[in-house]
Amino acid sequence: SYAAKGYTSDRVFAPYTVYKGKAAFSLSPCLPTFTKLDSGTVVVDRRGSMMMVFMHSIGERKYDWEKRQRFALSATEVGSLITMGPQDSCEFFHDPSMLSSNAGQVRKSLSIKPNNNGYFVSLTIVNNLLKTKDQFSVPITAAEFAVMKTACSFALPHIMGWDQITKQQSRGTDGIKPKGGSQVLDLEWEK
Amino acid sequence: SYAAKGYTSDRVFAPYTVYKGKAAFSLSPCLPTFTKLDSGTVVVDRRGSMMMVFMHSIGERKYDWEKRQRFALSATEVGSLITMGPQDSCEFFHDPSMLSSNAGQVRKSLSIKPNNNGYFVSLTIVNNLLKTKDQFSVPITAAEFAVMKTACSFALPHIMGWDQITKQQSRGTDGIKPKGGSQVLDLEWEK
Amino acid sequence: SYAAKGYTSDRVFAPYTVYKGKAAFSLSPCLPTFTKLDSGTVVVDRRGSMMMVFMHSIGERKYDWEKRQRFALSATEVGSLITMGPQDSCEFFHDPSMLSSNAGQVRKSLSIKPNNNGYFVSLTIVNNLLKTKDQFSVPITAAEFAVMKTACSFALPHIMGWDQITKQQSRGTDGIKPKGGSQVLDLEWEK
Amino acid sequence: SYAAKGYTSDRVFAPYTVYKGKAAFSLSPCLPTFTKLDSGTVVVDRRGSMMMVFMHSIGERKYDWEKRQRFALSATEVGSLITMGPQDSCEFFHDPSMLSSNAGQVRKSLSIKPNNNGYFVSLTIVNNLLKTKDQFSVPITAAEFAVMKTACSFALPHIMGWDQITKQQSRGTDGIKPKGGSQVLDLEWEK
């Protein structure tokens, strides 16, 4: 048993997982990567996302990791999720082969729909090339959805890369000095 | 009187405590521990929780620390608490001997129920082995519950270990480079 | 003009100030201090608060810093503030001489009351020893109150000292190891 | 492809951008700068803001960066934005030449107005000196607005400089020690 201290350069894996009778899914933030331009400015290279991984149940307390399926929620899709009210539903469509010659052949859809006091979280993957259809459906409670919303709200600025902006200590300043003290400056701004 | 600086490797104790006439309880986050796999990936070993500690009153401004009782809220139970509306109630049941030969002999239940404009927070522990029943009930105001909700929302990503994920600076990247500049990449993603 | 980097050991002053015609007030978090027990545990020594400072107007864009009055909101009082709805009001009473021989001689009250679409934030200080009464009243907009609520929600875990708990990397662990892998451990916990 | 680690002293650029048919806008936090007084206290020099940058569409997936227009939301304006309900609207007016001889000649207004289930975000700049009027209007979905609200709530304490206050480890203390243990101190405070 270790504390987290020594691991800052390692990959930390701490998904929020909901295990139910027929399937399970986990939720985990996936951080953006950055690239440095010739100008010295650092920009987002690959966008962050909230990664959902679904697994089928294959026995008591056993889930099929080999046949897992993934769905990466973009920042805007996370925005949909965190504003859902008790009776709201949402559905997202992804094409993993978009822009390739196989565009349109595989269709992934994630839906979240009201179910009693909670929700059904479902992933459907239709693959026209393989003639397959894979479906996962996990009923979750209102409390489990609350954890997802709170955790996604926490993670959203991180997957957007805004934590890197607010972490930076040094930025170019225009050398503007307050004239007549900061209180006057305050007042001018407030107008 | 010290500042916190020198203490990063010590155990910091800063519970939120509500003292009332017959009993008191405190609330404090309990962080997860991590373990490193052979692959180098760091995973959660022991899960974090929100620890509640209850004490009986034994005189004016005195509470019985010796006979305190604990109840550790899981992430999902914290999810229940932070979504409670003014007229909602919740109740959780734990068996500290679960999976041992004494399973079912001790039953802990924590309930939060509406009371005027606030709530009653109650812990009941029935021990069939010792033939005892211990009960704590603490009336709290809406303001005290608001502190609990805000503090629990802050702590939830930490007890889930997600702060360790978002703290990590370096992660394996696929070496994917934007084709045609980041603006085009943005647009492709948005589709 | 400097960046914040070099100042981590200095006192940083960044109040949120609302300047109005007759008076102004500023809001700023005041962090707790800690003390180390012989056991090595670090505990909160002096509690944190949200400090409000009121000043009378003494001319165009001038406020009387010399005769400013302070009111320190406790964590629970901050809890009241951040849960206030549009038509709610709240009022807090402090006695700065509490527990001294002058107890009851000075009475400070802070009230926040609905006013059109915003609020009136008022501080009244009655001093029976000096036979004085000092009063400040600042009308604020819904947007200004929203800043106060968001900033107070951000600051609350910090004035409670919980950011120090979640910052700590190393805590005593019981040496418990997962039996049969973390997936099984997950399931046991969920029960 | 790099990780963010090595860049803490560089300018990180990670705007949230909404691209639509006729125009696009991006949103990004702009941190405050600080200055050190002779007393050693560090105060905010230039206030932070949420920077919005608007661009016209000039072809498929192309936007005119050269003719971009900016609008910097103050902390209080961010407060307006994050409290907006589904049917609310808001409008802000800025004069970039305020306090100069050209005061009143250029008028910038930003409005956010309900549109189906989302909003219209519009920037209008009337320049009486150049006899020009520039207008941008971007329809956004409820999900995109949710991202803006969550990201702005995250960024607000940072643009106010409060993250610098809560980061500081050392502050002057009065040397007050608890009399009779921290539990008694707790009780005195609660009164």
Confidence of residue B49 (pLDDT cuts 50, 70, 90): very high
Supply the mean pLDDT for chain B.
Answer: 84
Instruction: Give A176→chain C minimum CA distance, Å.
Output: 7
- Percentage of chain B modeled with pLDDT above 90: 64
CB contact under 8 A, C12 and D188: no
pLDDT digit string, tens, across residues C122-172:
999 999 999 999 999 999 999 999 999 999 999 999 999 998 888 765 333
- Separation of CA D184 from chain center: 43
Cβ(B156)–Cβ(B32) below 8 Å: no
Task: Let me know: does A110 contact A136? Beta carbons within 8 Å.
Answer: no
Residue ranges of B 33-72 with Cβ closer than 8 A to chain A: 33-36, 40-46
From the candidates C166, C170, C177, C189, which should be mutated to test the interface with A, based on the most A CB atoms within 10 A? C170
Q: Do A4 and B191 touch (CB under 8 A)?
A: no
The pLDDT assigned to D135 comes to: 97
Do residues A146 and A18 touch, judged by C-beta distance below 8 A? no
Helices within chain B (DSSP H only)? 75-82, 142-159, 162-167, 182-190
Q: Which 80-99 residues of chain C touch chain D by CB within 8 A?
A: 98-99
D40 to chain C: which residues are within 8 Å by CB? 10-11
Burial class (CB in 10 A: 0-12, 13-18, 19+), D116: exposed
Q: Note the pLDDT tens digit of each residue in D48-72.
A: 999 999 999 999 889 999 999 999 9
Closest CA relative to residue D49, chosen from D174, D156, D175? D156
In three-state form (DSSP H/G/I as H, E/B as E, the rest C), the secondary structure along C41-61 is CEEECCCCEEEEEEEEECCCC
Q: Residue D61's pLDDT is what?
A: 87
A-chain residues within 8 Å CB-CB of D154? 156-157, 162
pLDDT of residue D168: 67
d(CA A103, CA C174): 52
The pLDDT confidence band at residue B4, using thresholds 50, 70 and 90, is very low
By the CB < 8 Å criterion, does B31 face chain C? yes
CA–CA dist C8, D165 (Å, integer) = 9
To the nearest whole Å, the CA of A72 is away from the closest chain D CA by: 16
Residues in chain A where the model's pLDDT stays below 50: 1-9, 170-191
D-chain CB neighbours of A184 within 8 Å are none
Which pLDDT belongs to residue A111?
A: 98
Per-residue pLDDT tens for A79-119? Answer: 999 999 889 999 999 998 888 888 889 999 999 999 988 99
Select the CATH number that applies to the domain covering C9-168 from these four: 3.10.20.30, 3.40.50.12780, 2.30.31.10, 3.40.50.150. Answer: 2.30.31.10
Q: B168: pLDDT confidence band, cut at 50, 70 and 90?
A: low
CATH, domain range A7-162: 2.30.31.10
Closest partner residue to D165 (CB to CB) among C3, C12, C74 is C12
Binding-face residues of A in 131-190 toward C, CB within 8 A: 169-171, 173-177, 183-184, 186-187, 190
For helices C142-159 and D142-159, give the axis angle rounded to 10 degrees: 60
Please indicate whether, in this complex, the C-beta atoms of D164 and C9 are within 8 angstroms of each other.
Answer: no
* Plot region of B161 (φ>0 → left; ψ -120 to 50 → alpha; else → beta): left
How many other CB atoms are there within 10 angstroms of residue C109's CB atom? 15
Spatial strand order of the sheet with C69-73 comes to C16-19, C23-30, C49-56, C69-73
Alpha helices, DSSP H only, in chain A?
75-82, 142-159, 162-167, 182-190
Cβ contact (<8 Å) for D190 and B5? Answer: no
Coil, strand or helix: which one is B80? helix
Identify the pLDDT of residue C6: 40
| B10 vs A contacts (CB less than 8 Å) | none
Chains that touch A (3 or more CB pairs under 8 A): B, C, D
**CB within 8 Å: D173 and B1:** yes
Q: How many helices (H) and strands (E) does chain C have?
A: 4, 11
Best of A76, A82, A163 to disrupt the D interface by mutation (most D CBs within 10 Å)?
A76
Position B82 confidence tier, pLDDT thresholds 50, 70, 90: very high
Q: Do D173 and C28 touch (CB under 8 A)?
A: no
D174 SS3 class: coil
Are the C-beta atoms of residues B1 and C47 closer than 8 Å to each other? no
Which whole-number Å values give the CA distances from D88 to A81, A165, D84, D112, D125, in the listed order?
21, 30, 5, 8, 23
Which homologous superfamily does the CATH classification assign to the domain defined by D13-168?
Answer: Transcriptional Coactivator Pc4; Chain A (2.30.31.10)
What are the backbone angles phi and psi of residue B177, rounded to the nearest 5°?
-115, 145
The phi and psi torsions of A10 (rounded to 5 degrees) equal -100, 165
**Top-tier CATH class for B5-37+47-160:** mainly beta
Sequential pLDDT tens for chain C (191 residues): 343 444 444 688 899 999 999 999 999 999 999 998 888 888 998 999 999 999 999 998 899 999 999 999 999 999 999 999 889 999 999 998 888 888 889 999 999 999 988 999 999 999 999 999 999 999 999 999 999 999 999 999 999 999 888 876 533 333 223 333 333 323 333 33
Q: What is the per-residue pLDDT across D8-48, written as a single tens digit (0 to 9) for each? A: 446 888 999 999 999 999 999 999 999 988 888 889 989 99
pLDDT of residue A103: 86
Tell me the nearest-neighbour CA distance from A89 into chain D, angstroms: 12
For residue B38, the model assigns a pLDDT of 87
